[in-house]
Structures are given as C-alpha cells and as structure tokens.
Chains A and B, each alone.
Chain A
Amino acid sequence: MSSPLASSSNLDGSDDTSPQQKQSKKPKYSRFTQQELPACKPLLTPGIVIGIFALVAVLFIPIGLVSLSASESVVEVIDRYDADCVPNNMHGKELDFIQNSSTNKTCTRRIIIPKTMKSPVHIYYELDNFYQNHRRYVKSRSDKQLLQPSKEAETKICAPEGNTPDGKPIVPCGLIAWSLFNDTYQFSINSGSIQVNKKNIAWASDRSHKFSKDVYPKNFQKGALIGGGKLNESIPLSEQEDLIVWMRTAALPTFRKLYGRIEKDLNANEEITVVIENNYNTYSFGGKKKLVLSTATWIGGKNNFLGVAYLTVGGLCLSLVLAFIVLYLFKPRTLGDPSYLSWNRNPSASTN
C-alpha cells in the first residue's frame, strides 16, 4: 500500500515549480517541536502495583457484597406454564392445540409468594429460544408507518407481512407486530382479583416519538397465518403499550417483557391464582413460556452474577497483592540499575 496521504508532495508542500528558493531556517525551538512537553512518566514500582491491586480489591469486594445483597433482596417468582397448560389429551399434539382457535386455552395456575413482595410487583413474561434478534425478524418493521399516518403504505421492508393479499397495507406491518405476544394473565388472591396496571409499561420515549397517537391499526392480523395477538383498531398505536413493549426487540433469545405491575404488596405465603389464556404459539419452535413476578432494585431483577463477578475480581486482586508481595520479597530488584542491562548482565556471552 503506498502512502495515501503523502503520495504526491513533499512535506513542506512547497510549490513544485516555483523557481524561488527558500533558504531553510533553523527550526524554532519550542518544547512542543522538540518533543519535550512536560510529561508524567508513571512507572509500575512494587509499591504502586500493590497499591493498585489493593485499591481494586478494597473497592470491588464491598461493591460485590452490595450487589449480592441487592440481588438477594429481590423476590422473584417464576412459573413455567407452557407445558402444563396443554391439556393432557393434547400432549404430543401441542401445535394442533395451539393453532386450533376453538380449543379452550384457559389455564389456571397457583403461585405461592415465598417472601413479602413490596409494591410495585412487576409482572413479566419470559420467552425462551425465541430469536427476536433474528435478521429476518428484526428488520421487518416500518418505523415511518408507525409514526406518520401518511406513510402507512411504506410497508416494503415489512414483507411478508406488509400488505394483505388484496394489496392493502397492514398497520402495524411486519413480522414483529404480527407475532405480538398474546397470552393474558388474570391474578386473584383468595379475597378477590388483583388489579394489574398495564399503563406505562412501555418507554415514554417510544410512546411519544416512535408510535403516533394518530395511527390506528388497520388490516392487522387478517392474513392466512395468525402470528399472535390482535389489536383494537380504535386505539391509537401510542396507547397500544403491549405492542410497543413487544416491538422493542429483545437482545437475546431468552428474554422477559413487562406485562404489567401489581401495585400492592404481596405477603409471604399468600397463594395467588393466575388464570392464563395460553394463546401464544411457542410450541412450533420449542420455546418455553414463563410467568415472572418480581420486585426490583437498582440492580434490576434478581441476578447474582454482577456481585459474584465483583467478588471474584476483588478476591483475585487480593490474592495478587499477596502474590506480588511474596515475589517482591523473594526476588527483589533494584529498579533502574544499569547492571541489569542485557549487555552488562553477561559480558562474556552475547545476548542476541
């Protein structure tokens, strides 16, 4: 590769043909041009090294502990229901069950709350093995259409869910919207039903800037293959929060999405009854469906990994402190002693 930036001219950029000759002047002295800018030269002396490792250890172990305790304080109840919510007689024929619109898909689950859950209790559904990040899937949406009523025909990238067979644009178009998750949960406690708040489950930024309040669902879920939930055509997209949540595609094939919140404390050992409409087809690809009730802290949901990671690194640094202390004690070296220079170390034999 020849030089792209200096191909044709010399450094001074002087005109190639000018006959005038410049007498070169002595370069002006400045610390900059002589490369002698004041500089700090940190050197990894034993003291600094041990100090750094000790600092990391001292910092990380408490952070790890705090994270762990935060994670521990989270109460999380997970209930996998995809297998159990298929009637016994339909085992082995899950696809027939789920694709048949006439079967009764209602399923009742009981959940024991292990510890008191402070309000708000987040309700998630968790899908497994569902590649919301699949290339075919991720691209299949039209952001313009979602935002502007006039652009509702911009469905080209939504294929094969862009238009109905008779050519009308589908709003919202694309595979993502088409595959909208449509299981529903109704919670009740022995005393009565529990209110689930489904407001504000989507990002405010999405509601205000990505989904218009003037765009209404049209021709949605009318095709030959039903992918998931249907939408109420009288509610604008900006208020279809389940859709908005669903359309913020998950990063990983195992993901949770917010279903709603229970805005009351759930006491320990309470038994909660959940009536599930098991509509969503995960049987075709063998995905699991789970219902998750969880409180939240700064660390999010229950996750020990961060705390463990901090403790591991902190612990490692602590052991490195010890290791280096031992090494420095047993193999000390005077820093900067010229006698360690390769040509001084073994004057008789050569070094290269």
Chain B
Amino acid sequence: MASERPLLNPPPLSDLPSPLPEPPIRPDPTAPAHRPTPSFSLDPPDPFRRQTNGASDRLVASNRERELAEIDARVIYLNDPRRTNERAGFAGNSIRTSKYSILTFLPRNLFEQFHRLAYVYFLAIAVLNQLPQLAVFGRGASLLPLAFVLFVTALKDAYEDFRRHRSDRLENNRTVHTLNGSGQFVPKRWKDLKVGEVFRVSSSETLPADMVLLATSDPTGVAYVQTINLDGETNLKTRYARQETLSKMPQNGTINGVIRCERPNRNIYGFHANLEVDGKRVSLGPANIVLRGCEFKNTAWAVGVVVYAGKETKVMLNSSGAPSKRSRLETHMNRETLILSVMLIVLCSVVAILNGIWLVVHKSKLTDTQYFRLKDYSTGVTKNYNYYGVAMTVFIIFLMAVIVFQIMIPISLYISMELVRLGQAYFMARDSNLYDESSKSKFHCRALNINEDLGQIKYVFSDKTGTLTENKMEFQCATICGVDYSAGTGSLYGEDTGYSVVVGDQLWRPKMPVNTDSDLVRLLRDGGATEERKWTYEFFLALATCNTIVPLVLDTLDPKQKLIDYQGESPDEQALVYAAAAYGFVLVERTSGHIVIDVLGERQRFDLLGLHEFDSDRKRMSVIVGCPDKTVKLFVKGADSSMFSIINRALDPEVIRLTESHLHSYSSLGLRTLVIGMRNLSQEDFDEWQSAYEHASTAVFGRGNLLRAMASQIESNVSILGASGIEDKLQKGVPEAIESLRQAGIRVWVLTGDKQETAISIGYSCKLLTNDMTQIVINHNTIDACKKSLEDAVAMASKLKAISPAVENAVSAVGSPRRISLALVIDGNSLVYILDTQLEEQLFKVAIACDVVLCCRVAPLQKAGIVALIKNRTDDMTLAIGDGANDVSMIQMADVGIGISGQEGRQAVMASDFSMGQFRFLVPLLLVHGHWNYQRMGYMILYNFYKNAAFVFVLFWYVLYTAYTLTTAVTEWSSMLYSVLYTALPTIVVAIFDKDLSRRTLLKYPKLYGSGQREERYNTKLFVFCMMESVWQSLVVFYIPYFVYKHSTIDMSSLGDIWTVAAVIVVNCHLALDVVRWNWVIHAFIWGTILATAICVVVLDSIWFLPGYWAIYHVMGSGLFWALLLITTVAALVPHFVTKVFGEYFMPDDIQIGREHEKFWGGSIQTPRSEIQMRTLSRHQH
C-alpha cells in the first residue's frame, strides 16, 4: 500500500464545477465497464471533475465532455512506427530523469544553486571583496564559505544524479517483445520502443510505455492490472481490449488501424481516443489504456500498441516533487532578518561616517603621519597614494564594512535549518510510534521545510471516510421491502459452511466473513413463494449483480478449499457483494458479457446486457441483466437522494415511508446507506434503450453526455427494493486522539461528503460532539434562509459569549464546566450560498465561536474553501488531513497537509506534506514531534541571530580602535570559519537532539502544546532580548581583553586570537546553558566544537606566511590568557544565567513546570508507548 516514491503529483484541479459532494459510494473512476457485444459504456467520470464542485449546476452540461478536437489529436498507425513518427516528433521511449550530464553539470548545477537568495548575497559579498579597493579578506578566505556550501550541495546533487543515471540506464535497457514485420515478437530494449509499435507483455512484467490494449490472453479481452507503481492502489483493475482488435491478434500477425488520441497529459484517470479499424470507428476510453509502470496480473499475456512513450507517458508527466510551502517560523524569521539588515546598514554607516569625520579632523596631518602616508614619492611624481578624497573613502569604507560584518545576516542559518529539518525528518520517519502495523506504512516527510509548523497548529480539518474511519466497509443491516433486518443476531458466516459454493470437488468460500441475520437467512431458505421472499431475493440479486466487482479465486493450503476474493475499487461494493455471498448469492464469475452467481446453491448465469457506471452527477449505477428466465431487469443502487427521485412513489408508498425512516435510523447510527431499486424492462423498453445506446456510443462528439442522458432515461420509474446499511468503522484511537487534540487547544473540524445524520453520528462516536453541546444546524437551499440562520447563529453565539466570558478563549477553556459549548453543523448546499459571498464573514464569526464544526455533504473545493475561510481571516495555523482524491485541494490549501496512506489510493499522499498511516498518529506527530520541532527550530534561529550578532559586535568594537579602517584583529580565516565551523555544528545537533520535555509528559499534558500556538519560543520580544544579550556579551568579550592588554606589547594577531577563542567559548557555553537534555551527542558536539576551534586557531597560527604566526603559542604560554578566558566567559554569561534562573523559578512557563515535574515527580520512565499513553490521557485530565 505504501508507495515510497512520489510518482505522481497531485493532478491539477479542474475548474469545472460539479454539483455533488463526495458520493456515498466510492467507485473508482477507472472502473471499467466495457463489454464486447453489445458494446456500451458510459465514460467513467473524470476524477478531477469528481473532486471539484461549485455553486452552479448549469455549467456542468456544457463542459462535461472534453472533446477530442481533430487538430489536437495525435495520430498513431498501428504497427507502423515509421509512418507514425514520420511527421510528428513523438518522444522515444528512452527516459531521462537525470538532470545533468558530465558537461552540463557545473553550469547547470551552479545556476540552480544560485536561485537561492542567500547564495546570491554570499556571492555578491564575495565579488565585492574581489575588487582591489575593497579587498578586506584574501581571495581564498572570502570565497571559502560560499565554495564550501556550493561544493557540499553540488556533491549531493551529483550523487543523486548519478543514481538517477544508473536507474535510467537500468530502465532503458530492459527488454520488451515487439512485433516485427514477419509477425514475430522479438526482444527489444525499452529505449528503442517507438510510438505505434505493437508489443507483448506477460504477466507480472512491467509496462514500458502507455499502451492501448489490442488483445489479451482472455478471449473476451479482459486484463487485470495492478497500478501500485502508479497510484499505490493494490487492488486489481480491469482493462479491456476492443472486440474489433481482439480477433486480429496475434495469430494473424499484422493489424492495420489508426488511433487518434489526446496529446500527452497528466491525467492518469482519463484517456480519450478513437480507433479506426477496418473502416469502422470505435471509441477508446480509460478502460482501454494501460500505463507505463503497471503490471498485468492474472493475465497470461497482453498485446498493445504504444501511444505515449518515454517522457510523454502519464507517469513521467506526473513525476515531480512535493509542493513547496514555507514555514511560519521562516516567514517570521525573514522579518527579523530584515531588522538585522537594517542593523547591518546602521553599523556600516556608523563606521563610514566616523571614518569620514576622522579623515576631516586629521586632514592636515595625513601627509606626514607614518601610518597613513598619503603621498607616494616613489615614481618621481608626487601624488596621492590610494586616496580619492573623503567622500569616496567613506563610500569604500561603507562597502568594506558590509564585507566585514556580512555574517550579521546569518547565511549559514539557512543551511543549518535544512540540515536540522533533515535530521528531524529522519527521527520522525524512524519513530516507531508513527508506524502503522496494519497497512505497513511509515511516516513520511514529503515536504522538508515545514517541520516546525507542526508545533503551531490551531485548526485541524479532517476528512471523515478513511481518515477518522477505516474505510473498511462492513455490511451491517438492511431494510427490505419495508422490513428492517438490523437485529444482527446471526452467526458468523465462516462457522456455517452452508454458503460455500461447490465446484466439482472443490469448496469455494468468500474471503471475508459477514454477520448474517438469522431471520433473513431463514426467510431466504424456507420462505416459500411469498411476496416478501421474492423481494428479498431480488434485493440480494441486485447486490450481487449491480456492481463492478471481479471475483478472484485464490488457492488455500487445503487443495479442496478455495477462497473467493472480491476485487473492486469501491469498498462499499465489496461489502455488499460479500454480504450477498453470505446470504447465499455468491458471485462466482464475471466476464464482460455475463455474470455467474451461485444463487442459494444453484448456479445461474445472467447476461450482462448493459451497465451504467456510477458517476457523481447521477450518484447511482445500474445494470441491465438478462435473467435465466428470459426476463430483463434493471437493478439500480445509489444514494438516497438520487434514488428517491427516480423511484415511482405511487407503487408502494408505505414501503417508501418505512424505508425512509429506516434510512434515517441507519444514518444516525453512523452507517452509510445505499438504496436499491429495480425495474422490470419490457422488450420495448429494452429495444428503445438499445437503439439509443447504439446511437450514443457511436457518436463522436458529446458521447459521454449522450450516454449519461440515456442512462438517466432508463433509470426511471424504479420500484424500491430496500436499502443497505454499511458500517464504516472508526479507526483505532480516534476518539482519544480527538480528545487529546482538543485538550491541546486544537480545534478539530470534520469535513465530509456524507449525509448530515451520518456525519453527526460519527461526530458522536468519535467524541467530537457531546451531549452537552448546543448544536447549530445550517442546511438550507436558499440564500435567504442561510442568511437568516447565520444571523440567528451569530446572535446565539454572542449571547452565549455574554453568559460565559470564556467562549472567546474556547481553546483553553474546553475543560471548564461553566461553558456552554457550541457545535456548528453545516451542509454543502448551504455552503454554496455562503462561501465566496458576503455571508462568509458571518460564517466565520459563528464558526470560531463554536468548539466543533461539522461540514457534511461538502465537495472537494468547498473543503478548500472552508480551510481558506480560516486561513485568510486569522493568523492561526491550519492543518488538513485526508486520504482521498477529494481531499487534495484542502490538503494543498492548508498550511500543513497530511495524507493518510490508507485505502483510497495515494492522491492525497502525493499532494501532502506529510503522510502517515493512521489518524491517531496526529497526536504524537503534533504534540510530540511538532512541539519539539518548533521549540528546537525557534531556539536555533534566535541562537544563530544572537551568535552571529555577538561576533559582529566584537568586530565592530575593534573597528572603533583602528581609526575606523576596518582592520580585523581576528584573522580573516577565523571570521569566515566562525559561522561555518566554530559555531554551526552544535546548534544543528542541539536542534536535532535536544528535547525540552519527554514524549510522556507531552502526551500526558496536551495543553503544553499551547506554547507553540502562542509563539512562545520565537517572537520579537525574544529577538530583542537576544540582541541585547549579544551586545552585552560582545562588550565583555571585547573589553575585558582590551583593558587587560591596553598598555602592553600585545600584537594584533594575539589579541585577535584571544577574541576569537573567547567569543567561541562564550557562545557555545551560552548554548550549553540552554540545553535541556544532555546526551552524548550533544556533549560531543559542544565540547568538540570548542576543541576544534582551538585546534583551528593553533593550526592557523602555525602557518608561517600568515601574520599571526606563532601568536597563539605566545599567548597561551601566559597564565594571564587562561585567567582572562575564565573571567570573560563567566562575566559574559552571568546576566543570561541570572535571567534564566529568575525566569524559571519565579515566572515559570508551563514547559518549565513540566520539566520539573518530569524530574521530581517520577518522569523517569524513558520509553513510553504512545498507545498506552493515549488511553490514559483522559483519565489524567480529570
């Protein structure tokens, strides 16, 4: 299930509106429905339309069909690659995912690297430094940091590209069997495959290119395809070869024909083409194409023609990286970076102006002063040496000051942050608490730049199906003909072998046991010929036939026993077919022409005369079957709203009334309901339909619309059979997780496509809603009604607010009993009138006053709209979590998007920033990792600002004693290495390893999460504070050695070394003071870095041509140096220590209390299991 690699990018959202929310049936749009004779099918709905929605239905009809304009088409001559490729330059099948070749690597890689602003700043400074007038540092020293970073990144890119080259080569040199002129299949390398070529693929072989199926080993042309590499779905999908081509392959050796298809595009679920063969034109749809990367299963071989090759295949067009978002912290950081830039400019201006003043004051003395020596006499002509007047000098000094003080803007911070996020991502991915055993899916960081946002979330928008629930459907109950069979008193199917199918000497059993209702079983077995039994019979027949499920027979250990595995895209359908099987209607075989059902022990064959696929317009599907008794029946199943509109109410009003009431009670139990209906078709009806169908299916333009209209026409006047209730089970730990999130001050909103009753009942079962909540329900069909109820809701909210002042801060006062909490339930229809209108503001007011918001019947774009409602109006961080294609828009809209790698394919995962297996992992993810990431990153950014500023200030104070000429006592190498080597590693390591609180404490007190929401670890106040600290520490580091050595023989290099060593020790000890949890890694890096700095200084002073030769040895030889280091370090850190102690003891924040609690109240257990934790959560809180 868990594909590790992003093969697909989220598909682009179509802007086409479609009126319906997420349907209760979840068919996969790729579901095939083609059969040879009479060949008919609806084009499966385009998945991207399925996930879009909007206010208007009117647009739908006109835009429904993307027509295949002749000019745009790509023309493929079957088995004639030469002619096919003659005119059009179709891509070959050789792929190239690598970015560089050996020649282009350097320029292209550098070009890409310099897209980053930080590097440009770096480069600009380095270039400035190369001008002889401005050469502050030597060439080598000034280029070192930039070169280092570029080199490391280039090395990484080169390695990645090398791997891509290798895999490209591997991929391109695989072999495929293609048809040659003499009708033989001969091996050929993948890269030589051309569009138009016909090739054969055997079972379990990977497809080399997108191909249109021509023939398969199955006589009816069916092929089963696994698309796990494409979208991660493991279930088999059926694909069909057209009847017209079936007979021609492969015995006859050749085939002639022309395919006209769309240009290459990214839509993996859509394909639109037609095939001209033998003068006949037949249409091709998504069910006829198999994409590169798929594998055939249960199909011995398949022959097809290449339509898209190489980089034009859909999988390649879809392969690009995860979406890029920028974290909140980084945005704020840029604000502070701006402040630092201003500070830098101020510092430089001060130096430049002071230098100007100095020059003016000393003007008369410049000529004779030995250290200035204005005049140059060496050439015979006396002239000024290297002096262009005060103004010019001031300007040059300014630029030089920028070079000298460049690290005021901590460039290395950007690289450090990347490394830290990489490290954090590593630990998140390796966290065994985020590993889902059941689906074997690990946690994945797909976006690497928003780790710390996980610590500041205030709103969670959750999908329901597949996210809160498992999306494993279980048939629970049914109402048939007005009788409710929901007692559930039956036995497990598995214990009762009576419903297995005897085939020869073998026993076939459905794979999944289902609870059966004993009354119903009895009725079916011994019911006689009553009316009731007849309806029940038809009901289960409908369940067994009206679907697109493919039964697969699996071997078991016992050769006499076989298992029937029902494969299909919709879990609802699977549940229904298993249910039908449990009641004795075992679907045994399905081909494109007929269905074999073992009806209560008797094998019956039904001809599949027609099938109208599910689509989100009609919200129902239907089949036309020819029964063994020669009658023709139409079975329909679909959502209640859609079904009641086509049911003939006159037929059986009492049954309809009863069914409606049963449906209501099922919904309130949280069950997903489907209404089943049937219609006996007379011969005239059928003939009329068949001619309409033939007309529609041969139409070249608007075929989909015609087919759809035709389907709607026959799906009328239906009599009701009953309805089914399917349980969508809650995922493990969901109520506890939601409770924890609420404790943590996170508001959980549920956005679902389900019905209001279902949504509310799920809300209750996952503890989102409680009985003491006041529910505000908004479900109206007119704008005025919505407006009115919104106004009422606003009034109600403000009234409650007046009663209980804590409403506004619902976040922190959830637990308080005095509050009356509000829950808002709103449906998609109302949202149509509210979102993007002036009512939005009122909805916002109501919504933030409510503790819980439940949106039901919402369409994918509405989900995004709701996220945007919060995102645009508040500063609060939003997180969207979902699993299906319909959640993609919401996931991309939210600040943080999480994909559940569950049942519904991988589109959500592809669009997400993080992916994981279960909803409950949100708790450790946010409360533990999010909290840690935020704390660490916030501290790291501030620390980096502080440490670089401190060093810059030390340099600045010295400039004041050099006649403002920017001489640096610190060697150029040290000032360049300072931010790269002397101080960078410890902060990175601390930001990866330090933990302010243990996992256990964080899970025990979810409210500790509030620290991130309130931005306690990174804000302007802290920034100002740390700048003050850096000024103080720089003063100490500079002036203590200054006064000690003031009247001495100290030389520049020695004093420079002292300042370097002192500064590095002070900033590293400052970091050490703030480390909470000292493990060996942190020890190693902090002390190791100080040691490394000392070694570096010693090495630099051992190079004879540097001015500081042997200086450090002289300095270290005196006791004064060591006494000086001690006093400097202590004096610099005393204020930090005192404020820290004072703050921690007298104004402790929650984290501090938690830390003490951990230490003194038995927080010593090191390895808590999060599951246990979560179960104990609620108890701890009350």
**Chain A residues engaging chain B, CB cutoff 8 angstroms:** 1-19, 21-29, 33-44, 46, 49, 52, 56, 60, 63, 67, 95, 124, 126, 130-138, 143-144, 147, 159-165, 175, 178-179, 203, 205-206, 209-210, 223-225, 227-228, 248-258, 281, 284-286, 298-301, 303, 305-306, 309-310, 313, 316-317, 320, 324, 327-328, 331, 333, 335-338, 340-343, 347-352
Contact = CB atoms under 8 A, between A and B. Distances in A.
A161 B168 CA distance: 63
A22 B228 CA distance: 11
B167 interface: yes
Contacts of B349: none
Interface string B141-161: 000000001001100110010
B202 to A, nearest CB: 15
A205 B1042 contact: no
Contacts of B293: 19
Nearest to A27: B430
Q: How large is the interface on B (under 10, 10 to 19, 20 to 34, 35 or more residues)?
A: 35 or more
A352 B812 contact: yes
Contact of B116 (A1, A8, A210, A320): A1
Contacts of B97: 16-17
Contacts of A340: 1148, 1153
27 contacts: A1-B118, A10-B446, A12-B4, A16-B167, A22-B4, A27-B435, A41-B1155, A44-B1141, A60-B1127, A133-B969, A134-B372, A135-B962, A165-B377, A210-B1104, A248-B1051, A250-B1052, A251-B1051, A251-B1056, A252-B1042, A255-B1048, A298-B1118, A303-B1048, A341-B1007, A341-B1153, A350-B808, A350-B809, A350-B813
A251 B445 contact: no
B322 interface: yes
Contacts of A67: 1123
Q: Which 7 A-B pairs have the closest CB atoms?
A: A336-B1156, A179-B370, A160-B376, A205-B1110, A350-B809, A135-B965, A336-B1157
A27 B431 contact: yes
A223 B378 CA distance: 7
A258 B1051 CA distance: 12
B206 A41 contact: no
A4 B421 CA distance: 12
A160 B377 contact: yes
A60 B1128 CA distance: 12
B1047 A350 contact: no
Contacts of B816: 347-348
B1127 A310 contact: yes
A225 B373 CA distance: 10
Of A19, A36, A298, A299, chain B has the most CB atoms within 10 Å of the CB of A19
Contacts of A21: 3-5, 228-229
Nearest to A163: B378
A95 B491 CA distance: 118
Decide if the interface of chain A is mainly helix, strand, loop or mixed.
loop
A324 B1131 CA distance: 18
Interface string B1-43: 0111111000000000000000000000000000000000000
Nearest to A335: B1156
A309 B1129 CA distance: 12
Given A159-B385, A335-B1160, A352-B812, A6 B421 contact: yes
Nearest to A144: B1105
A272 B780 CA distance: 110
Interface string B955-973: 0000001110111010000
Contacts of B157: 8
A334 B1009 CA distance: 23
A134 B386 CA distance: 14
B526 interface: no
B967 A135 contact: yes
Contacts of A28: 430
A19 B370 contact: no
Given A223-B377, A306-B1123, 19 more contacts: A1-B118, A4-B116, A10-B322, A11-B425, A25-B442, A34-B1167, A40-B1079, A46-B1145, A133-B967, A135-B965, A136-B386, A175-B373, A206-B1110, A227-B370, A227-B373, A284-B368, A300-B1120, A328-B1145, A342-B1007
Nearest to B966: A135
Of A12, A301, A306, chain B has the most CB atoms within 10 Å of the CB of A306
Contacts of A12: 4-5
A313 B492 CA distance: 81
Contact of A305 (B365, B1044, B1148, B1167): B1044
Given A320-B1138, A343-B812, A284 B365 contact: yes
Given A6-B418, A306-B1044, A253 B377 contact: no
Contacts of A331: 1146
Contacts, number: 412
A200 B1141 CA distance: 51
A51 to B, nearest CB: 12
Contact of B429 (A11, A162, A285, A299): A11
A44 B382 CA distance: 69
Given A27-B431, A251-B1050, A331-B1146, A4 B4 contact: no
Contacts of A161: 373, 378
Given A11-B429, A49-B1141, A41 B809 contact: no
B1149 interface: yes
B430 A33 contact: yes
B366 to A, nearest CB: 9
Contact of A209 (B206, B806, B963, B1109): B1109
Nearest to B161: A8
Interface string B1112-1143: 01100011100110110011001001101100
A251 B164 contact: no
A159 B963 CA distance: 20
Contacts of B556: none
Nearest to A209: B1104
Given A16-B164, A175-B373, A251 B448 contact: no
Interface string B317-342: 00101101000001000000000000
A41 B1159 contact: yes
A303 B1047 CA distance: 8
Given A252-B1045, A306-B1044, A336 B1158 contact: yes
A162 B1111 CA distance: 27
B1046 interface: yes
A85 B438 CA distance: 96
Contact of B1134 (A15, A22, A286, A316): A316
B479 interface: no
Contacts of A33: 427, 430-432
A274 B95 CA distance: 90
A117 to B, nearest CB: 17
B1161 A63 contact: no
A37 B1079 contact: yes
B1159 A5 contact: no
Contacts of B1048: 255-256, 300-301, 303
Interface string B1003-1046: 00101001001100000000000000000000000001011111
A252 B415 contact: no
A140 B1082 CA distance: 45
A352 B442 contact: no
Contacts of B1010: 342, 352
Contacts of B99: 8
A131 B371 contact: yes
Nearest to B1013: A352
Interface in B926-962: 961-962
B4 A3 contact: no
B324 A41 contact: no
A52 to B, nearest CB: 8
B796 interface: no
B1171 to A, nearest CB: 14
Given A1-B116, A16-B97, A350 B812 contact: yes
B813 to A, nearest CB: 5
B57 interface: no
Contacts of B1141: 44, 49, 324
